[in-house]
Structure 1
Amino acid sequence: MGRKAKVEFDEAAPDIDLSNPYGDPVAMLDYREYLVREKWIKIETAKILRDRLRWCYRVEGVNHYQKCRHLVEQYMDATREVGWGKDARPMELHGPKKEVDSE
């Protein structure tokens, strides 16, 4: 029994009506759990890349600018998508925009 090259999950995003997300509470909770699980996967991926980058900095010494550049780019791409604030939520879950009266 060998090791798999890539881990694959058979779980997809739950079916939910995003125009009325609170219409089906069970589907909404499943969707939130799915989003949290995907967010944790991104966070753990960023942590692994950070550890690899630290190791590369220590090993390469003064040449880390050239030798570790690919890890820096991967780490920066991985950290751009990670965040827990309202701005990190999908746009469909932000709710309707409030109009401001200009008087």
Structure 2
Amino acid sequence: MGRKKTVEFDEGPPDDFDPNNPYADPVAMLEYREYLVREKWIQIETAKIIRERLKWCYRIEGVNHLQKCRHLVEQYLEATRGIGWGKDHRPIELHGPKKVVE
């Protein structure tokens, strides 16, 4: 019995999570929530890295930054779309049941 040589991460969402009935298995729901948070942090950190590259490009290129850094601007805008922690950005299966007012 020895140590593992590599670290293995479970990259995907849990297999037993049912989006139609998210509260059926609370453990799977929490694992799915952790998966979503992990993916959201990866998106945020990717956007930060692209932003730092964009700052560097603006400083280096000077007045030509509009032509030379356009690809980084497009990458940054694409990376920041849909990033947010508000309830509207969560998947619909985690919003909870709708309350009907009569």
Structure 2: distance between partners of 1:97 and 1:33: 23
Coordinate RMSD, CA, aligned: 1.6
Q: Mark the runs of 5 or more structure 1 residues left unpaired by the alignment.
A: 1-8
Q: Counterpart of 1:32?
A: 33
TM-fit CA distance, 1:98? 4.5
1:42 has 2:53 as partner: no
TM-fit CA distance, 1:96? 4.0
TM-fit CA distance, 1:67? 0.3
TM-fit CA distance, 1:57? 0.2
Structure 1: distance between partners of 2:68 and 2:42: 27
User: TM-score scaled to structure 1, two decimals?
Assistant: 0.82
Q: Mark the runs of 5 or more structure 2 residues left unpaired by the alignment.
A: 1-8
Q: What letter is aligned with 2:75?
A: Q
Q: What letter is aligned with 1:36?
A: V
Q: Counterpart of 1:84?
A: 85
SS in 2 for 1:77: helix
1:62 has 2:58 as partner: no
Identity fraction in percent: 77
Structure 2: distance between partners of 1:86 and 1:25: 20
